[in-house]
Structure 1
Amino acid sequence: MEKGLFHAPEKEIPGSDCMAAIIGYREDEETFNQALKSYLQAANCRFVLVGIDGDDNEDQYMFEIFQKVFPERSAMVHMDTPLVDLALELSASLPESQNKEDHIISLCVREARQHLERSKVSLHDVRYLCISQPHMHKKGIMFSSFIFSLLITEIYGLEWIWSSDSDTIVDPDTLSSTTSVCASDNAVGGACTTLVIHNRSDNLLTRLSAAVYLSDYYLARSSPSSFGANECQSGPCALFRASAIAPILLRWYTQTVWGKWMRVNEDRHLTTLLLRQGYNVLYAADSIAATESPPTLRRWLLQQVRWARAVHVESFYAPGIYVLQHPVLFFNTVRREIGGILIPLTIAIYALTGRTARPVPGQDLVQRLLITCGYLALRNPYRPSRWAEWLWLLPGQVLYNISIQGIQFWALMTMLDGSWGTCMRGSAEVQADATGVSSVDSAGSGSLQSSLESGLLTQPVSEEKRSRVKLRAQEIGFFVLWIGLVIGAIGRVWATTWYGFGGSMATLVAFACMVPTWMGMSWWMVAVAN
């Protein structure tokens, strides 16, 4: 795997010290090892906190990797009860008051301090701390990590918390250059960095995904960030002001939408709450972190659907932020939400009936691509040294722009679906997911081994096959339908443009394209997709 990044470390900038909080659950061993090692050289990083969401036998290898990477000045603390359980109990029992949430967070920080005392760990003597708890979900371990981070920043006199995932590798100057963008402005509540793909050479899909990150990620964040209104601090590369995040931590965790508790939009909702408080959120374009892209199409689709659901939820959750922030934030939201409905419907109607509101000239698409490439070549801080990487930009844009229309529409229709979708990257989790059984969505502690012992992975073939078909249809059935409609639309364009067919003949050609596509994609969905 390609693990190298791109900059030599810069000279340390006074006042830009921070701590790093990395969270993970059953991560790929080599990826987790490389991710932790990258913090050994991270400039201006005064403390490293690792949060592991699990304490079963299957999770022990992550503790061993932590001890191997940080053999000195390190310690481990285990919590039998996640800190968020304490917070929720206090929230239910304490009377309502103006400072209730602040009081609850203070009590949670005190509990974290007591955990350290019981484990005989002094934060003055260690620089690397690993905390663990029974398995919950990403939001649960993030809450615990943030509570410990508030304690650490208080003791070390730090203002900034770098939050990242167990599959993300940082450059030596990633943290320092990001904090330097924010440190001089008290109105800034946080920032995120440029993301690239470190496993881009794995296969065709990861190369295409890397090309999408190269273009879409940079362009999507640059415009709103110029007005201090970046709407998402991505989970792998987010920086938060400690004093800004403390007051919103409990309401972030307990967010409900139409009575349903949300957990798949953890990074976007934190950003939304910062924007609601009037803070600016920036995009540190010159800072680079490298994350992992799913290596299979199904897992990539599930990731994109989860992200798209988060986008829709946050677009409607707090309309008041559009008054507080620059109008460009409102414009981007309206354009995205309207386009997410109209474009898929237009394509579907055209494929099925031949009716269209307005054709899109092919030259417009070519010009858009050329303008994008030119802008990236001049402005993107990460410019690949090999021209071969730029050549992937066209097929990457084709993959993304075709897929994202169906993804956005499906995500809007199912935006309250709280399933995480993608499995963890540990070998046992990947194997279980391929079989159709995964603990990825469990809300409490649970062992993969218990599933094996109870026979969940050795059920009769017919029952297993029915379960797999149902699961795959729920997960990616929309994509099968969408690709068929796209192929049908292309077939209709081909029939009408090149052969002059119209009416029922063009419709016959469209369905002749759609039906085999649906059949082939259905076979892929059930028999191949992992």
Structure 2
Amino acid sequence: MRSQYFVRAPGADRILFPRTNEEDVSCFKMKCQRILTYLRIFGTTMFGVSLLVGISTAYIMGYQFFTTAGNHLSFGLYGAILVVHLVIQSLFALLEHRNMRRSLETPIKLNKSLALCIAAYQEDPNYLRKCLVSVRRLTYPGIKVIMVIDGNSDDDFYMMEIFKEVMGWDKSCTYVWRSNYHHRGPEETDESYAESLQQISRLVLNNKCVCIMQKWGGKREVMYTAFKALGRSIDYVQVCDSDTMLDPASSIEMVKVLEEDPMVGGVGGDVQILNKYESWISFLSSVRYWMAFNIERACQSYFGCVQCISGPLGMYRNSLLHEFVEAWYNQTFMGSHCSFGDDRHLTNRVLSLGYATKYTARSKCLTETPVTYLRWLNQQTRWSSGIDQVSIR
């Protein structure tokens, strides 16, 4: 049934077409969502300001809820806020884990196309082999596997050999590229560059297992190559690091989340530590990982706003990726191209389009973590830099 509202061309008297009731309802919903977004931003800002003022005031006044004789033990406002925050997080995380268990009752058809993109850079041969063996055991039907190696020197060829060995010599297609999408290699002409782009696209579209070696450019360059080579030929894109062992059902469980709600743009899984008993640093990292995923990300998932879908285990709608892949790659901070925070920025781009990001504990993987202090410190510095770049921007 038609409504009484009509759309007119600017500056014209004639009616172009009538507006339907469905369009009126859709327009009304969009306005309501915009108002709710503004209210949420305002409420969050005021809540943060009130916390800051309250904590600062309590600190200046030296307020304490209780203290022991000699001040050996005290409990102030800041400690109370931390405890309340942890309790609230745990409550919503518990509710989200209940929702995850209920989702098992919803049957889905595994008829959507899926591609797994693996980023590799000077990986330990043992970890890379374990990663690819776990990829072969994935139970999602017809999955396409693309591994892009960040580097094309003689020292990088062992990774391509491992790929062909594990995935099958007769099933693997490989390509050594002197360039990448943004930087040309030595002696690369316009004709050879264009031919390489076409060759890579054909290999990726026509084969299930593809390994590409390209000119060094960083992890973001590697992921960009995989995304661009796939184009819009598949429905979902799963990302993975070369030191990650995937659970056989990890892909299916993430697809379930995307299939249940068309407004979910990305989903991450439970990342656990593979080498947690190698040192006290790796063990403490495993404890931190459990808290970060099963409490913090589960709580965020309850509200559909997971802040970071981790690189070792994540999945996105391919249609969304191509809405912002150029802006994602060209992210800058203070005039410099960003090399950190690719996964967090990818997640933020999904959220900026109005789609939700979720977490499912039913999709699992194991990944390697640093066992020495200096390597761990370098990792945390990179992650902190990525968080700052994305947050400030």
TM-score scaled by length of structure 1: 0.50
* Aligned-pair CA distance for 1:114: 3.6
Q: Please give the residue correspondences for 1:156-171 in structure 2 after superposition, counting only pairs within 5 Å.
A: 158-171=234-247
Find out whether 1:252 has 2:350 as its counterpart: no
8 Å Cα contact 1:16-1:176 kept in structure 2: no
1:297 maps to which residue?
373
* Aligned-pair CA distance for 1:25: 0.7
Distance 1:116 1:16, change over 3 A: closer
1:439 maps to which residue?
none
1:76 maps to which residue?
174
Find out whether 1:229 has 2:305 as its counterpart: yes
- What whole-Å deviation, never above 9, does each CA across 1:14-46 have from its counterpart, x for those lacking one? 245521010111100000000011011101151
* Aligned-pair CA distance for 1:248: 0.6
Aligned length, in residue pairs: 278
2:71 maps to which residue?
none
Find out whether 1:142 has 2:223 as its counterpart: yes
TM-score scaled by length of structure 2: 0.67
**What percentage of residue pairs aligned between the two structures are identical?**
29
8 Å Cα contact 1:84-1:143 kept in structure 2: no
Letter in 2 for 1:25: Y
1:314 maps to which residue?
390
CA distance in 2, matches of 1:163, 1:23: 8
SS in 1 for 2:371: coil
SS in 2 for 1:183: helix
Letter in 2 for 1:161: V
* Aligned-pair CA distance for 1:164: 0.8
- What whole-Å deviation, never above 9, does each CA across 1:296-352 have from its counterpart, x for those lacking one? 1111121112112222222222xxxxxxxxxxxxxxxxxxxxxxxxxxxxxxxxxxx
| Structure 2 residue ranges without an equivalent (≥5) | 1-103, 185-192
* Aligned-pair CA distance for 1:85: 3.8
Find out whether 1:277 has 2:353 as its counterpart: yes
CA distance in 2, matches of 1:269, 1:110: 31
1:55 maps to which residue?
152
1:115 maps to which residue?
200
* Aligned-pair CA distance for 1:191: 0.9
CA distance in 2, matches of 1:234, 1:211: 17
8 Å Cα contact 2:150-2:213 kept in structure 1: yes
SS in 1 for 2:239: strand
Distance 1:138 1:295, change over 3 A: same
Find out whether 1:288 has 2:384 as its counterpart: no
* Aligned-pair CA distance for 1:252: 0.7
Letter in 1 for 2:178: D
Distance 1:133 1:196, change over 3 A: same
Find out whether 1:181 has 2:266 as its counterpart: no
| Structure 2 residue corresponding to 1:38, chosen from 105, 130, 134 | 134
8 Å Cα contact 2:129-2:162 kept in structure 1: yes
Determine which structure has the larger strand proportion and give its number.
2
Distance 1:245 1:201, change over 3 A: same
Letter in 2 for 1:52: I
Letter in 2 for 1:67: K
* Aligned-pair CA distance for 1:109: 11
The RMSD of aligned alpha carbons is 2.3
Letter in 2 for 1:41: R
8 Å Cα contact 1:47-1:128 kept in structure 2: yes
* Aligned-pair CA distance for 1:168: 0.6
SS in 1 for 2:260: coil
* Aligned-pair CA distance for 1:219: 1.4
* Aligned-pair CA distance for 1:207: 1.6
- What whole-Å deviation, never above 9, does each CA across 1:73-127 have from its counterpart, x for those lacking one? 21002222201348xxxxxxxxxxxxxxxxxxxxx9997444355xxx4844x32
Q: Please give the residue correspondences for 1:106-505 in structure 2 after superposition, counting only pairs within 5 Å.
A: 112-116=197-201, 121=203, 123-124=205-206, 126-150=207-231, 154=233, 158-317=234-393
8 Å Cα contact 1:35-1:170 kept in structure 2: yes
CA distance in 2, matches of 1:74, 1:308: 37
Deviation beyond 4 Å, 4+ runs, structure 1:
10-13, 108-111
| Structure 1 residue ranges without an equivalent (≥5) | 1-9, 87-107, 318-530
CA distance in 1, matches of 2:114, 2:205: 15
